Each structure stands twice: as C-alpha cells, then as structure tokens.
Structure 1
Amino acid sequence: MLINILLLLGGFVALIFGANTLVDAASSLASRWGVPSIVIGLTIVAFGTSAPELVVNVFAATSGSTDMVLGNVLGSNIFNVLGILGISALLFPLSVKTNTTWIEIPLSLLAGICVLVIASDIFLDGSAGNLISRSDGIILLLFFLIFLVYNLVVAKSGGADEEMETKNYSTGKAVMFIILGLAGLVLGGRLIVTSAVEIAEVIGLSERVIGLTVVSIGTSLPELATSIIAVRKKNVDIAIGNVVGSNIFNIFFILGVSGTIVPLDINPSSIFDIAVNILAGLLLFIFVFTGRGRKVERWEGAVFLLGYIAYVTYLIM
C-alpha cells in the first residue's frame, strides 16, 4: 500500500514535470520557427495544461479501466469549478469578461449536457447499457474543433500582436527537452493508472471513486497553481477563464480522444457524477449573473468549496 502511494505521488510529479517541460520546449521551438504567440498560446500551452488528464486517460482506456477515464474527466471538471474557483474566490472575488460570460461559461455547461446525452443510452434508446462509442467520441472532437476555431478568432480580434514569454532554447536543447517531457508524461501516466488501480483494490474503493477524487485532483494541479498565482497577481479573469477553458477541453478533447480510442462502458453510478458536473456549471452560470457586476463573490466561493467537500464525502461514504 505504501509503495503504491509513493508510486502515485511519483507519477504526479513526473506527469506535471513532463507537461511543463514539454510546454516550455515546444513553445521555445515554435517561437524560434516564427510561429505567432497567439498560436503558441492556444495550441501548445493549452494542450500542455491538459496533457496530464489526456495521458492518464489514454493509459486508463487502453488498460480497460474505463470507470477511471470518465471519473478523471468529470472529477477534474467538478474540482475545477467547486474546488479551484472556490479557493480562488475566497482569496479574491473573481470578475468575468464578456466573452467568458456569454460564450465560454454556457459552452462549458453545454459540454456537460452533451456528456449526459451521449451517456444515457438506456434511457434514450432502451439499450442494455450506457456506452460512449467511437462515434460519440468523434462528435465530441468535432465540437472541440469548433471551440478551437472560435478561440483563434477571438484571440486575433483581441490583439494578435501581444507577445508571449517563451524559453530561449537552442533547437537541439528544445528537442531534447521535448523528448524528456514526453518521457515524463508517459512514465507519470503509467504510474498513476497502475498504482491508483492497486490502491482502489486494497482500500475497497471503486476505480470510479479513485478517478473522481485522487486522480482528478492530481491531474488538475496545473490549473490550481495557475489560478492561485493569477489571483495573487489580481489577474482574476485569468483564473476563471483558465478553469472554464480547461473544462471545455476535458470534455470535448480528452473525453473525445478517450472514446475514440476505446468505447467506454458507463457505470450507472456515473450518471450522478455527470449531474453534479452539470449542477456545478449551472451554479457558476447563476453566480455570475447575480449580485453586482459579473463576479463570483467570496461567499459564493465558500458555497463552491462546501459543495465540493460534501460531494467528496458522499463519494467516500
């Protein structure tokens, strides 16, 4: 048990180190080749922050741990809103830009509803079981493509000349760090999946619950760090935009890729988690449109955090 816990922690360290190293090296290489900052930010950096969830899900899907696949995505999204935004709003009230208010927050809510629809085969089609099929995965990826194009259009219209800080690596050094980053991602993802499955068996919790709690929180650490740093620097819009964008990425891209690789059998209990994810998105939408201005106040952050504690307690009990 102790060895598996150490392997799990080591997996998270390797995973996050690999993601950061890969982002820095790939961004440096892209900048050296003349790729605009806007494209680097919306592709390499965005994909890099979602790399932990993606790698863990690919390993979980290919090893047959499908409960962990959906659990990681839903758990990350629920933790992002209720946990990360809860902590961030307690530190400083979060203001929201118009685009995030009118487009990205509703789109994040729509993504959650999409999962409910594609995972409700028993209710909608009278099927023997719920399944996210390869065709469902491809549909999610098509939604992701639309979201990516939208981001490019918005970013270009909002200031394409803004420069982004990148590491100044030589080509050889950048390639070496890219390989090192990929190795860290692969090693970390493998360690997390195998040790999490072992821990679940030892303590008697399901892979679904482990995925919804331990694994999802671990893979969301980059978003947590980014949001807290942004709030401390009073860049509060970055904090909420980071979380909402990550949630859209998780469902449309990561779950889309996972479902395309291997069709995912859906545990009936996961419908509750899907509903909690939708409720968290709906709560964010309501909080933004209540009170003074487009803000998430401190007391609303406390509601988020208490809601997350209650949800995790329910899962464990």
Structure 2
Amino acid sequence: MKTLKPLNVTYLISNWLSISMIFLIGEAVIQFGVYAGIVIVGVFILAFCVALPFLKPIFSNPTPVRKPKWLKELLLAVWLLEIFILHFLISGLLLQAFFDMHYTVSVFFTMGISFCIIIFLSKMRMLVFVLKNIKFILLSSLAIFLPTYIYLQKGLESVYHDLLYYHPSVLHNNQKGIWVLIAVAFLIFFTKFLLQGEMLSKFAGKTFHKGMRKLFVAVIIYSTFILAFSTMMVVAITQNLEVNHVNELLLFMIRKLSTPNVSHLIGIALYISTLLTLVLSFFLFEDESDNKRLSRTPTILILIASVCAIVFFHRQLTLLNIYSFSGLLICGLFLLFPFFRMSTNIKKMK
C-alpha cells in the first residue's frame, strides 16, 4: 500500500489564518491592554502542548475511535456558522468603512459574490489549492505591510507618548479580566486542536515526533501573525476616533492615516481575504463531512450567517463576543463525546 505524503504545512497555516484574527486580537487589545497579544500567543502555544498527548493516538492509529457522526456534523456546522458570521460581519464593516456602502447591502453583496465563486469552483476543484496559496500570501503580506505602514505614519515614539499620557490604562500589566481571557482562550484553542486531530494528522504524517516538530513550526508561524496584527490596534487607540461599532476602529484609523488610493487598496486586500476565507471554509466543510446528504448544509449556513451578521451588527455585538460564545458552545458540545463513549461502555458491561 502506498504511503501518502504529508500535506504542505502552508495549507494548514492558510486554514488557520483569517481576517477575523486581526479584529479579534485588536478587540482583545482594547479590552485587556497591550499585553493581550502576547498573552493570547502564550495560551495558544500552551493549548497546543496540552493537546499533544490527546492527538498522539489519532496520529499513530489509522482507524482512531471516532465521535458519533451526528455529533461530528453538529460540531462542524457550529464551527462553520461561526466562521461565516464573523466574516460576513467583517465584510459589511469593510465595504461600509472603505467604500461607503450601506451595511445590509454590503453583507448581501458579499453573499452573492461568495455563491458565484463557490459555483465556479465546484466545477474546478483544483483551484481551491491555488486560492489557499493566494490567501496565505495575501495575509502574510498584510502582516508585514500593515504594522510597518501604520507605525511609519504615526511614529513609534509618538504612539508610546500618547499611550503613556492619554491612555495609561492600556499599558497596565495587570488588566482586569485577563484571567477570564486566558481561561476562555485556552478552552477554545484546546477544543479546536482536538477537533482538527484527523486533519492535523494529514500534515504531520506517520512519524509522530517528526510530525510534531512540523506542527510546532506552524504554531510558531501563526503566533507571529497574532503578534504582528496585535500591534496595529495600539496605534488605533491613540487616535481617539469616534465609531459606532468597536470593530470599526482599526478600519477608520487606516482610512485616517492613508491617502484615498492607499486606503482603498488596503480595503480591497482585506475584502479579498475575507471572501477567500468564506469560500475556502465552504469547501473545507465538504471535505471534512462524512455524510454526503449534508452537502447543502454550508449553503443553508451561509444564508443564516448573513442574516445573523446584520442582526448582530445592529445589536452592537462584537466579534470577540460572538467568537467567545460560539467557541464555548463548541467546547460544551465536544464534551458530550466522552459522555456518550462512557455510556456506551457501561451498556456493553451490562
């Protein structure tokens, strides 16, 4: 039997990367201070290390113990709905901030574009791998360009001066609620690592220790993206901008510090990355799902997510609120697996 070659780790990082991480990390910085990015990186690496003993049986056993099919499909559906809601909400913010489109129109416009791309890619599935590379390159470029560009516009010394004298609370090391952030982030990251066990095994290969080194490199690379994007919100806080929604702060700062042409170019890059995340997540669900009868589920979830994004925006729900709630919901559902496994073992003993 031919041994399958492990997939390129670039595709794994591309799956993890998304525009939503920019806004989520930024919002965490607003609430918990400048050290939030470092804290989240530490929790992310810790969650990966703690998950390793649980991932080892999945990597070494070609036929691991599987979760009940209905539970796996439910977990995938909730996770996919989370991704769709976050990125539809972001798409509306982007088009509204950079191109002055009405928010509701922006969301439905994004939904229409997404469906068109999905229909096209359904006939040319090989292009999905190309789009993953494009997404990785785009987000890598943004991680390098945006922090550098923003700090060049404002100046590092000026940013520190404004924080020290006008926003000293942001520089405090002991932020209120930081332990809540650590606990919630750990639960979410840990659960999602375990959920991705079978997918991670495709990148790790058959040799556990070699595969772990490969995955750890991916974790470190992803962590550098988190740190890079977290620095931008520090500058945004010093601008004293008035916004209707907290997640608009970064976008309005970019618009303020840039010329119209540059801000439009950045807006287009961010929007394309958002579209790519929506489309690639659609196909990722199809690949991970075992039940072909659920092939219409992503389409239904897109429709639900677009409506939810509009409602949540007008209700002033932030991306971090949505991500935390859905992440804890996934964590709670995931805990049902050992419960069902235990009940099955008890029945067998009888």
Structure 2 length-normalised TM: 0.31
Rg larger in 1 or in 2? 2
Structure 1 length-normalised TM: 0.34
